[in-house]
């Protein structure tokens, strides 16, 4: 089983994450930010990853540090659980509709982090969260997990639908990319034999 446990403690946040990439989508999430909890639950359920997150942060200032550091900790846990990435499909993509919104996510578990973010919100907040923080979460996840990640809301009006479809499309893409390919279960999916700065 591909599992990992990560703790991240700073003067701004204290975060623990447990992940099982080969789970069934069981989650237990508490970050102090209700909307972020809801999105991480979507990530777990639709990605079939078992996910436990406990985060305490300086929410008396704002949600920035908690959001970003949660992305970093989950990304680090994914990186550790993937190990050398041998046998994985590596690439994943998904188109997820949610009412009037359609979102596309494509990713490469290349160990080369890069984020393309084409999401334009028309409200400054969702619940208690600043909408600008969602980009920070996706950036942190991409950086820590080593994911080339493209996120694009093709169209949409409702900000809740827009960001929820982003998380669901991420989950579906990750699930696809992290699967073990039975035709090359022991091989690194790269012509160079390693991932990270490779093709």
Digit-coded pLDDT (tens) for 35-67: 999 999 999 999 999 999 999 999 999 999 999
**Measured distance CA(151)–CA(131) in Å, rounded:** 15
**Measured distance CA(24)–CA(132) in Å, rounded:** 31
Burial class of residue 185 (count of CB atoms within 10 Å of its CB; 0-12, 13-18, 19+):
exposed
Measured in whole angstroms, how far is the alpha carbon of residue 6 from the centre of its chain? 15
Residue 183: predicted pLDDT? 83
**Predicted model pTM:** 0.94
pLDDT confidence tier of residue 184, bands split at 50, 70 and 90 = confident
Instruction: Enumerate the domain spans of the chain.
Output: 3-184
> At the topology level of CATH, where does 3-184 sit?
Ribosomal Protein S5; domain 2 (3.30.230)
pLDDT confidence tier of residue 196, bands split at 50, 70 and 90 = low
**Measured distance CA(90)–CA(180) in Å, rounded:** 9
């Amino acid at each position: 089983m591909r599992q990992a446990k990560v703790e991240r403690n700073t003067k701004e946040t204290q975060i623990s994450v447990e992940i099982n990439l080969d789970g069934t989508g069981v989650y237990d999430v508490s970050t102090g930010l209700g909307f972020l909890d809801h999105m991480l639950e979507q990530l777990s359920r639709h990605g079939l990853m078992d996910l436990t997150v406990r985060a305490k942060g300086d929410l008396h200032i704002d949600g920035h540090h908690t959001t970003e550091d949660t992305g970093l900790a989950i990304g680090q846990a994914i990186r550790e659980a993937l190990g050398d990435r041998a046998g994985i499909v590596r690439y994943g993509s998904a188109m997820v509709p949610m009412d009037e919104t359609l979102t596309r996510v494509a990713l490469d578990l290349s160990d080369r982090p890069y984020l393309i973010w084409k999401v334009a919100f028309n409200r400054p907040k969702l619940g208690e969260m600043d909408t600008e923080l969602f980009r920070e979460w996706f950036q942190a996840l991409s950086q820590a997990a080593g994911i080339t990640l493209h996120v694009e809301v093709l169209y949409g009006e409702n900000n809740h639908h827009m960001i929820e479809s982003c998380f669901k499309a991420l989950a579906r893409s990750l699930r696809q990319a992290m699967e073990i390919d039975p035709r090359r279960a022991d091989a690194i999916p790269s012509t160079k034999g390693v991932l990270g700065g490779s093709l």
